[in-house]
Amino acid sequence: MMTSPIRIAVIGGGLAGAIVANALRKIPHVDVQVYESAPEFSERGLGIGLSKLALQALEEIIPSGANLLRTDAGAVDIGASRIAIGSGPKAGELVCDIPGDEGLAMTRGPLLKALLSRVPSGILHAAKKLASIEQTGSGVNIAFEDGTAATFDAVVGADGIFSTVRKHVLLRDDDVSAEEQHGASPVGGWECRNLVPVAKAKAVLGEASFEVDREYCWAGEGGFMMHALVEDGTMVQCIVACVETDFPPDRKRIVTREVLEEVLAPSWFDGPIGKQMVEIMLDQENPIGYSIWEHKTTPTYSHGRVCLIGDAAHTTSPYQGAGGGLAIEDAFVLGNLLSSISSAGELEAAFKAFDAVRRPRCQAVIDTSRASGQLLSGQNPEVGVDADKMAKEMDVLFGHIDALDLQAHKQAALDELRKLLAH
């Protein structure tokens, strides 16, 4: 019998922090507190898709979680996807049709709000920017920039791509080379997004793009484009992604007609979608393009009683739409591991088991997502913009993502935990 709960601080109140808070608060012997650096819990950014597998993991954490997202986050069925060539002499040629996988698409703000609605407001602490972490023999001391401090049995870092907790996990004896080697770095692409009412999208893109309810992706030389319904089918998320050869230090660039005409191959503008999507990108106040970054390698997700999840552990490019799903998988596995320990002394073993099982899975997605971006923008030298070759390569790159057996994955983590505790 435990005489006191295991106290865990989650650093970061975005999607990963919210979903792991849901997973951990269900465990009777865990007391979880969530700290967000911003003045309020919020998510910027537009659409996010969760696959059937991601929703299965969510249902394990929040029963009827998919229904929650439909009612509270405006989620719509992802349905089918169509990929076609968007530039060059083969523009309009079909690459492949992908049947719906019973996934859901929504925007990030409503998703975060729905997830946070399931946890007590008393465990959520905004305007708490982490200043330092110190591990002792009996716990983890954390200090915030507002001068406050606290001690916990463990810390879970869910503080995003430029995670402060990640630096603590990776750095040893102030060796900055580890952070330089394993910090976030450019993928080689940037993207601009716009969210527009469906009537406007139909007027610009044409009714034909909406005759069938599906996501459309256009692959071509130097970039790719996509558009999909979100927010109960009332809005359309539009994305133009381009190959990046210069790397602005702040990851942002002003997007103008001249910029798009320079970076996109001229053949895009003679194709079926290029001109129209450019018009949609420019039809917003201050269009901004954001460089896409990733964690190319990470030697470990844990160090002592500190563990990384979500983008803090494994930021991936968006080309396979898998980042949100990986965070939910993280929470599912970590929740099961912490449900299976009986004392704070077993936390380090639980975090090591998490690392052993999750890191190979997430690294594989990072690598195939990067390759998918190169493929869709015509940068795979063996494929180019050949539709048949692209379709075959898509099968290879995407096949492993939803092939994961979630229950077997959980069991592998629990088996690893038992092995570590036995030693």
- Can you give the CATH number for the domain in which 324 is found? 3.50.50.60
Would the CA dihedral through 408, 342, 116, 17 be positive or negative? negative
In a domain, 223, yes or no: no
Note down the domain range covering 334. 6-184+295-422
How does pLDDT run across 336-359, given as a tens digit for each residue? Answer: 999 999 999 999 999 999 999 999
- Residue 290 falls inside a structural domain: no
Q: Is residue 163 part of a domain?
A: yes
Residue 224 lies in a domain: no
pLDDT at 46 over 90: no
Number of domains in the chain: 1
In a domain, 111, yes or no: yes
Q: Count of alpha carbons within 13 Å of 73, Cβ hemisphere only?
A: 31
* Residue 227 forms part of a structural domain: no
- For the stretch 39-42, contacts whose Cβ atoms lie closer than 8 Å and that sit 24 or more positions apart, written own/partner, are 39/126, 39/127, 40/126, 41/13, 41/112, 41/116, 41/124, 41/126, 42/109, 42/112
Residue 334, domain member (yes or no): yes
272 lies in some domain: no
- Measure the CA–CA gap between 236 and 251, rounded to whole angstroms: 25
Which of 75-84, 235-244, 260-269, 292-301 has the lowest average pLDDT?
75-84
Burial 11-48 (b: 16+ CB within 10 A, else e): bbbbbbbbbbbbbbbebeebbbbbbbbeeebebeebbb
146-201 pLDDT, tens digit each: 999 999 999 999 999 999 999 999 986 556 566 667 889 999 999 999 999 999 99
